[in-house]
Chain A
């Protein structure tokens, strides 16, 4: 019998038509939209005077360009307000379910999709946002698309897409104390570079991956785009099914038991072949931090900046270090920082805020640190309140903002000033990503917390004496 990968099984079962020597017409089960990459797609529908083909398959939220304070008030910034209003109008006109600005279920698209039960194993999921790869944690084919493709999905529920190659990344072994799934993915990207998986869809497997919670798996798949992968996918297992079982509701699923029986079949056959296979040892991974201006420029927190590890080409590499104000061979530990950001679709879930709280509990924020603490959704915010985390944050001197993408891409006013250093739990350290001239150091919530307390880049393991947190 032909041996197929999990990716092949889902992809092939969604092909409406294969174009000869060309791409596939792929059916999309779930389409997420937000205010920034959808307006031009709706304009296209209006110009053609056609409806949304399957409005029930699209879910909308406002997240990228909204303020994280005073969400009960109208948005001050005119352009931002206009985008959010356009989204409201479009969803209203075309009958699309909207968890918009200040809606009780609002949040970052890749946080609310899973928590509201819209992301399910075996699906094809797209969104006009590259971090759509997040949803692969549930055993879905999920990937980011451009606005022209958003318009295709709205018009026909399909996109025209070349089938990517397949890669498997196996991570076996036990994670060390203070090492999280953020560190796993940052380690992998630092090993294979920011373009190392371009053209491929990556299945993550191995004992270290299996041991991760759903939220930790989402962090891992989220950043698979940062090594160039089309997406990441993890075969669903009991961890997945237990996560789904505890959700208050799963729209469209009446009998979860029989759904789970089908989802259990979603795995790569034992002899399925991949175009590329890589293997890593989890026990070698330490807390990671980036020193440059792409996510591949990462190192273990206690090591030194390399000379030119990924052969980035001397001009690109030195331009990057110059932007950051660093030099090859320099150690980052002890380097003073100015800002700490916890949040984003990468690390804006409840486990991330628990991890951060674990280090700041009973301590005080360093005087030189400005912190941006931004829950990924209203639900995460409510959980923080009910679990008493808000008190811990407040007592340590932190203000907790309201949900949104915030300083991850700094479309709103949550910008890091030029020249300032920010330890950020987000996903991209590109030049100017967190504001013009801002210098981003990507890290896990534990590493961010350690920096928030000491005011310097600090090994989070100094604060951790047990191994409760393996996220």
Chain B
């Protein structure tokens, strides 16, 4: 089954300079009762976007009309906590295509890659610079080139190479599917099982 492709993305960013943003903030547990993958964007960062009274929290960045774009720029250790893939579905459903941080929680990283949401790791210094640039100029764009593995801050021209494993890179560039790949290895898997039980 073909999946979402990713090649080059040029976009403005949404800054969320908090550290250790956990998946309970990204999508609170009370919204996990659905049995499909769709529609989670509505409740992305639910308890930060809305006040207890249900009113929109105008101070939260997603409600600030100055900021929009397909790239979320967050503080370190983004996506820690629960393994819920719903967090990635919510971010992607809201319209983001990439998340930038200085490091991601492992399960979140895998979940993102498995859904065509690109997690980009940059140094903590560059992350701080980028946050400052976006806060000063919300129209500042970044360019992500997956094939070249480059991340460029367009107004300053600063760019870095980011890492991604070659298998996942190919999957994202070509829209390949993990399960198709695994199913093609059935014989190898069966041979492994036979060897193991012997």
Contact = CB atoms under 8 A, between A and B. Distances in A.
Interface of A: 16-17, 19-23, 25, 27, 36-37, 39-40, 43-44, 47-48, 50, 53, 64-65, 77, 79-80, 82-83, 86, 128-130, 132, 143-149, 151-152, 155-158, 160-162, 164, 194-195, 198-199, 228, 230, 294, 296, 312-313, 315-316, 319, 409-411, 418, 428, 430-433, 436-437
B33 A83 contact: yes
Interface string B70-83: 00000111001111
Interface stretch (B21-29, B140-148, B152-160): B21-29
Contacts of A158: 182, 185, 189
Given A148-B178, A198-B103, A37 B185 contact: no
Interface size class of B (residues with CB under 8 A): 35 or more
Given A36-B33, A129-B82, A155-B179, 14 more contacts: A16-B189, A27-B193, A40-B35, A64-B32, A143-B107, A146-B110, A151-B179, A160-B178, A160-B182, A164-B106, A195-B77, A316-B75, A428-B24, A430-B24
B33 A80 contact: yes
8 contacts: A22-B165, A39-B36, A40-B85, A65-B33, A148-B114, A195-B80, A228-B105, A430-B81
A156 B81 contact: no
Of residues A16, A77, A151, A436, which shows the largest number of chain B Cβ atoms within 10 Å of its Cβ?
A16
B180 to A, nearest CB: 9
A410 B32 CA distance: 11
B107 A145 contact: yes
B40 to A, nearest CB: 11
B182 A155 contact: yes
Contact of A79 (B25, B34, B105, B178): B34
A316 B106 contact: no
B29 A160 contact: no
Contacts of A436: 28, 30, 47, 52
A27 B165 CA distance: 20
B161 interface: no
Q: Which 5 A-B pairs have the closest CB atoms?
A: A22-B167, A79-B33, A195-B77, A39-B35, A146-B85
Main secondary structure on A side of the interface with B: loop
Given A83-B35, A411-B32, A230 B106 contact: yes
Contact of A27 (B19, B47, B104, B192): B192
B103 to A, nearest CB: 6
B167 A160 contact: yes
A10 to B, nearest CB: 13
A130 B185 CA distance: 27
Contacts of A157: 189, 193
A156 B183 contact: yes
Interface string B111-152: 100110000000000000000000000000000000000000
Contact of B22 (A65, A83, A160, A430): A430
A128 B189 contact: no
Contacts of B99: none
Contact of B77 (A53, A151, A194): A194
B132 to A, nearest CB: 13
Contacts of A145: 83, 107, 110
